Structure 1
Amino acid sequence: MSDTDSFIDEVTEEVRRDRLYLLLRRWGWVGVLAVVLIVGGAAFNEVRKARATGQAQDLGDSILAALALNDSAERAASLSEVEAAAPGGDAVLNMLLSASQVEAGSEADAVASLNTIAVQGDLPEIYRAIAAFKALLLQADSLPIADRRQQFEALAAPGAPLRLLAEEQLALLDVAEGNVDAAIARLQALRQDAEIGVDLQQRAAQLIVALGGEPEPLIARQG
């Protein structure tokens, strides 16, 4: 390589370095900002996780301390004073609270605790359905049959998580109203449902017999 070529290469390299330095001076802050954001975001995420873990541990300790009380009324009172920051924790807390309220003989308070869960829209449907179902069972002697039927029918809607259990309760309401034929027909259909479990299927058959009916042969399921 000649001296001229070498000189040209050196000049070209200097130009490239000058351009790089210029770019760094002009846009280098973008890279620094990106690093700060990444590091800051990671730190914030860790702090958030630590805070959530701490809140869950505090909630668990408070619940365990309340459940350790032997008297059901005291246990319910202690649970009612516990505060949960997250919707899921609040649902668990109200479930436990309702159980203690039932043991203490405060069924109206238990129903209120369960209904708090049932209307909590940010919870998964299964938890809301369980709470609503248990609340209806507790109101067997206080809520008119027509109102209970309406609510059980909502729980028995296609695709609902407790659909089959709600159908069983509707059959029992048919019996309570003296409509035995409707109850047997509902139970026969319930036994043929593709999603029914063995225990519920057997309960339905026993109730059909108790009502003077004859369980229909089960249709073979394909699959």
Structure 2
Amino acid sequence: MSDTDSFIEEVNEEVRRDRLYKMLRRYGWIAVLVILLIVGGASWNEYQKAQTRAQAEALGDAMLNALEQNESAARASQLAAIEAGTPGARAVLRLMTAAEQATAGDAAAAVETLDALAIDGEVPQIYRQIAGFKSLTLQTGTTPADDRRLSFEAMAQPGNPLRLLAVEQLALIDIETGAPEAALERYQAILADAETTSDLQQRALQVIVALGGEPDLDGIVGLDGAEAPAGEN
């Protein structure tokens, strides 16, 4: 390389360096800002995770302390006083509170707790459905059978996750109102339903026998998980 070429190369290098320094002076703050945002965002994310974890631990400790009480009424009182930070946690607390209230013999308070949860639009729908179902089951003897029947019939519609449990409650209302044949039909329908759980199947069989009926097991999956042979009852 000649001296002239070497000189030109040095000049070009100096020009590029000057341009780079000018760009850094003009736009370098953007890079610094991006770095600060990344670091700050990561720190805030970790802080939020720590806060969420601390809240969950505090909630769990409060629930355990409440459940350690000897009396159901005391457990219900402490559970009701706990503040939950999320709708899901609030729903679980209300369900637990209602269960303890019912165990303590205060069905009216349990129904009130469950009804409040059933209309709480902030909690997931499944919790509202469970609350409404449990509330109705606690109203036997206080709410007319026809009113409970209408509510359970709405829950027994296809697509409702509590459909089969609602059908079981309808069968119990049939027994309550002196219609055992209608109850037998509902229990047989439960046995024939592909979505019936083993526990519900067992209860249906027991009530059918108690009512003097004979379970029709043709083509129905048996309690041991195997399909019952055709014609075997």
Give the corresponding residue for 2:71: 71
Q: Find the aligned partners of 1:54 and 1:7 in 2 and give their Cα distance.
A: 66
Letter of the 1:128 counterpart: R
Give the corresponding residue for 1:176: 176
Q: Find the aligned partners of 1:153 and 1:14 in 2 and give their Cα distance.
A: 86
Letter of the 1:108 counterpart: A
* Per-residue deviation, 1:220: 5.7
Q: Find the aligned partners of 1:198 and 1:75 in 2 and give their Cα distance.
A: 32
Is the 1:153–1:170 contact (alpha carbons within 8 Å) kept by the matching residues of 2?
yes
* Per-residue deviation, 1:13: 1.9
Tell which deviates more after alignment, 210-219 or 7-16: 210-219
Q: Find the aligned partners of 1:137 and 1:220 in 2 and give their Cα distance.
A: 28
Tell which deviates more after alignment, 106-115 or 180-189: 180-189
Letter of the 1:100 counterpart: E
* Per-residue deviation, 1:139: 0.8
Is the 2:118–2:131 contact (alpha carbons within 8 Å) kept by the matching residues of 1?
yes
Q: Find the aligned partners of 2:45 and 2:16 in 1 and give their Cα distance.
A: 40
Give the TM-score taking structure 1 as reference length.
0.87
Is the 2:191–2:220 contact (alpha carbons within 8 Å) kept by the matching residues of 1?
no
Q: Find the aligned partners of 2:78 and 2:198 in 1 and give their Cα distance.
A: 39
Which ranges of structure 1 fall in alignment gaps of 5 or more residues? none
Matched residue count: 222
Is the 2:87–2:124 contact (alpha carbons within 8 Å) kept by the matching residues of 1?
no
Is the 1:91–1:117 contact (alpha carbons within 8 Å) kept by the matching residues of 2?
yes
Q: Per the alignment, in what secondary structure is the counterpart of residue 140 of structure 1? A: coil
Is 1:36 the counterpart of 2:46? The answer is no
Give the corresponding residue for 1:85: 85
Give the corresponding residue for 1:188: 188
Give the corresponding residue for 1:58: 58
Give the corresponding residue for 1:215: 215
Distance 1:66 1:202, change over 3 A: closer
* Per-residue deviation, 1:189: 1.9
Give the corresponding residue for 2:19: 19
Letter of the 1:179 counterpart: A
Q: How high is the sequence identity, in percent, across the aligned residues? A: 56
Distance 1:146 1:22, change over 3 A: farther
Give the corresponding residue for 1:97: 97
